[in-house]
């Protein structure tokens, strides 16, 4: 029992001795650090950092004003992120240099760490580099309707690593920037105007000129269809069930659904008024006439 008590007391004394020695070492280091020279360095560093912060805020304010006047959201995001990274790197390097840290050693260690991280995360680095190109090209912006590979949707954000879109079914899809760079991208919202082409067929019994003239009347019944560029209609071949025609109309990109619905309704209306029939598939008609479809 006495041996256990003695052991416990010895451990406690050793621990106390270690704590006291560590405290004394820390106090000695703190006393050596709190010199007039280091105090002046600290004050100078704080003044310089305050000036840098004021300059940083002024530049950011000017960039925000430029963003609203001349810069797209994607370019603004790219420039601000690069500027933020540069500002923080400068601040850290300045503070380290103030206290005698050799920047050459820091840059060397950063280079080695960068190489190691590059090998460990090649995909992320590839997406990051691709993101710079995507943002720099300005090929899309938030709200655009795009197709990349098998994914189609509206752009929610354009970031350095990926582009986030939501599909017409309201599903979130994250598209890596490397996929955008390495594949074809279709941006249906890039230009302010779009063209819609609708294929229609008429019976072989119909006079071809009459069918063409009648089809050309349809765009005039559509409020969202533009007159400049002018609509166009043409013959597109002889099909199995009828003569194929195509109608092309232009509209503002925000009027897609309205223009599409109006054009289909107008085509049916002008054909009905001219007593021009749109033929059904012969096989379907034969089955229906035989009574197999009620």
CA dist 141 and 156 (Å) reads 8
Measured in residues, the chain has a length of 294
* 218 pLDDT more than 70: yes
* 289 pLDDT more than 50: no
More confident position, 238 or 286: 238
- Per-residue pLDDT at 157: 84
Q: What is the pLDDT of residues 223-271, one digit of tens each?
A: 999 999 999 999 989 988 889 999 999 999 889 899 999 999 999 999 9
Q: What is the pLDDT of residues 63-74, one digit of tens each?
A: 777 655 566 666
CA dist 155 and 186 (Å) reads 12
Q: What is the pLDDT of residues 116-159, one digit of tens each?
A: 555 545 566 666 677 777 777 778 888 889 998 888 999 988 88
Cβ neighbour number for residue 50 with a 10 Å cutoff: 10
- Per-residue pLDDT at 288: 44
Taking the whole predicted model, whether its pTM rises above 0.75 is answered as no
Helix, strand, coil content of the chain in percent (nearest 5): 60, 20, 25
* 215 pLDDT more than 60: yes
Lowest mean pLDDT among 141-155, 180-194, 277-291: 277-291
More confident position, 111 or 233: 233
What string of DSSP letters covers 178-212? HHHHHS-EEETTSSSEEEEEEEEEE-TTS-HHHHH
Q: What is the pLDDT of residues 31-88, one digit of tens each?
A: 665 666 666 777 777 787 788 788 878 877 777 776 555 666 666 666 777 777 777 7
Supply φ then ψ for residue 290, to 5 degrees. -80, -5
Lowest mean pLDDT among 47-56, 96-105, 189-198: 96-105
- Per-residue pLDDT at 36: 61
- Per-residue pLDDT at 264: 94
- Per-residue pLDDT at 209: 94
Contact yes or no for 263/249 (Cβ under 8 A): yes
156 Cβ partners below 8 Å, 6+ apart? 142, 164, 165, 166, 172
- Per-residue pLDDT at 104: 59
| Residue found under tokens 């990349």 | 148
* 28 pLDDT more than 90: no
Indicate the pLDDT class of residue 290, thresholds 50, 70 and 90.
very low
91 Cβ partners below 8 Å, 6+ apart? 49, 52
Q: Is it true that the peptide bond before 169 is cis, omega within 30 degrees of 0?
A: no
**What is the torsional sign of CA 197, 202, 208, 209?**
negative
Indicate the pLDDT class of residue 14, thresholds 50, 70 and 90.
low
């Amino acid at each position: 029992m006495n041996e256990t008590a003695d052991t416990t007391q010895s451990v406690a004394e050793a621990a106390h001795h270690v704590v006291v020695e560590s405290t004394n070492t820390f106090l000695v280091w703190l006393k050596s650090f709190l010199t007039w020279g280091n105090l002046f360095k600290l004050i100078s560093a704080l003044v310089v950092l305050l000036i840098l912060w004021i300059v940083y805020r002024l530049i950011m304010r000017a960039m925000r004003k430029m963003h609203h006047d001349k810069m797209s959201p994607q370019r603004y995001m790219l420039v601000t992120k690069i500027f933020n990274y540069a500002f923080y790197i400068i601040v850290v390097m300045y503070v380290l240099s103030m206290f005698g840290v050799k920047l050459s050693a820091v840059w060397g260690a950063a280079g080695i760490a960068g190489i190691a991280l590059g090998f460990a995360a090649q995909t992320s680095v590839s997406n990051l580099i691709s993101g710079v190109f995507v943002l720099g090209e300005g090929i899309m912006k938030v709200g655009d309707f795009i197709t990349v590979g098998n994914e189609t949707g509206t752009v929610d954000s354009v970031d350095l690593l990926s582009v986030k879109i939501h599909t017409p079914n309201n599903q979130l899809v994250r598209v890596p920037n490397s996929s955008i760079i390495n594949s074809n991208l279709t941006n249906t919202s890039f230009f302010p105007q779009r063209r819609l082409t609708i294929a229609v067929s008429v019976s072989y019994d119909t006079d071809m000129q009459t069918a063409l003239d009648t089809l050309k009347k349809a765009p005039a019944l559509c409020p969202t269809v533009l007159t400049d560029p002018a609509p166009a209609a043409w013959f597109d071949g002889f099909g199995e069930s009828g003569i194929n025609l195509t109608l092309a109309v232009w509209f503002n990109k925000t009027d897609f659904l309205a223009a599409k619905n109006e054009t289909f309704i107008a085509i049916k209306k002008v054909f009905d008024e001219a007593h021009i029939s749109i033929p059904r598939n012969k096989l379907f008609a034969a089955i229906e006439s035989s009574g197999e479809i009620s």
